A and B are shown apart, each in its own frame.
Chain A
């Protein structure tokens, strides 16, 4: 099994550009999450989903959008990139609660 796969691994954006971070899991997990990791700040939850067609805001949703059209995919959209969105983004999935979160390898985004 591939687990949780994120693309791209690295990306540089200009202010105001838009992009989508892709996330796919092959474990048939119901729950999926997007976190951002800033230096010395731990992980902050951006959005999460408890199943196809259902999404909810986390701690820091402003500037982002998500969709969950299938169980496997949970893309994160940045519409108007800002320097404050420079971070490492992690996608994760889990089957139940409380349970183990399985993380992707991360996507490092720089906005200049």
Chain B
């Protein structure tokens, strides 16, 4: 079945550093792909999404490109801030209907001043 494998953390970066969090997927067809973010003590929030191959999702300076050649959806940001400290989850649509998502294990990012 459809699934994602996500880079394990934790990741610690200095402010203004470049961020990459790797995510690869296994799927039949081309499911929609997502990045969700969880700030401390809160539920998950959608960060960005891509619904077809070669699409680029972007939000709040974060980007991810749906690459079917490498079955990847890596999350990037050019200059991280302390406020970006959170847990990031890659997810994909299982394509069973009902918006049934498979979530990766999450990557904890800590940005230090």
To the question of whether A and B form a pair in one complex, the answer is: yes
- Beyond contacts A99-B99, A101-B99: 15 other A-B pairs, Cβ-Cβ < 8 A, are A4-B43, A31-B98, A31-B99, A42-B106, A43-B89, A45-B100, A48-B98, A97-B97, A97-B98, A97-B99, A98-B31, A98-B49, A98-B99, A101-B36, A105-B43
Would you give 10 A-B contacts (Cβ < 8 Å), ordered by A? Answer: A31-B98, A43-B44, A48-B98, A90-B43, A92-B44, A97-B93, A97-B97, A97-B100, A98-B32, A101-B46
Instruction: State whether A103 and B43 are in contact (beta carbons under 8 Å apart), knowing that A42-B103, A42-B105, A48-B98 are contacts in the complex.
Output: yes
Q: Taking A4-B43, A42-B106, A90-B43 as contacts, is the C-beta distance between A101 and B101 under 8 angstroms?
A: yes
A79-112 at interface with B (beta carbon < 8 Å):
90, 92, 94, 96-101, 103-106
B-contact 0/1 string along A1-24, CB 8 Å cutoff: 000100000000000000000000
| Docked pose: A103 CA to B46 CA in angstroms | 9
Beta-carbon contact of A104 and B99 below 8 Å: no
A contacts with B, residue count (CB < 8 A):
25
Instruction: Count residues of B near A (Cβ-Cβ below 8 Å).
Output: 23
Task: Find out whether the CB atom of A94 lies under 8 angstroms from the CB atom of B44.
Answer: no
Residue of B nearest to A35 (CB): B103
B98 and A101 contact, CB distance less than 8 A: no
Tell me which residues from 52 to 73 in chain A have a Cβ below 8 Å from any Cβ of chain B. 56, 58
Once the chains bind, are A42 and B49 in contact (CB under 8 Å)? no
Q: Which 4 A-B pairs have the closest CB atoms?
A: A103-B43, A97-B99, A98-B32, A42-B105
Q: Does B113 contact A (CB under 8 A)?
A: no
Most buried by A among B36, B51, B99: B99
Q: Which residues of A contact B99 (CB under 8 A)?
A: 31, 94, 96-99, 101
Q: Distance in Å from the Cβ of A17 to the closest Cβ of chain B?
A: 25
Q: How far is the CA of A58 from the CA of B32 in the complex (A)?
A: 19
Q: Which residues of B contact A43 (CB under 8 A)?
A: 44, 89, 103
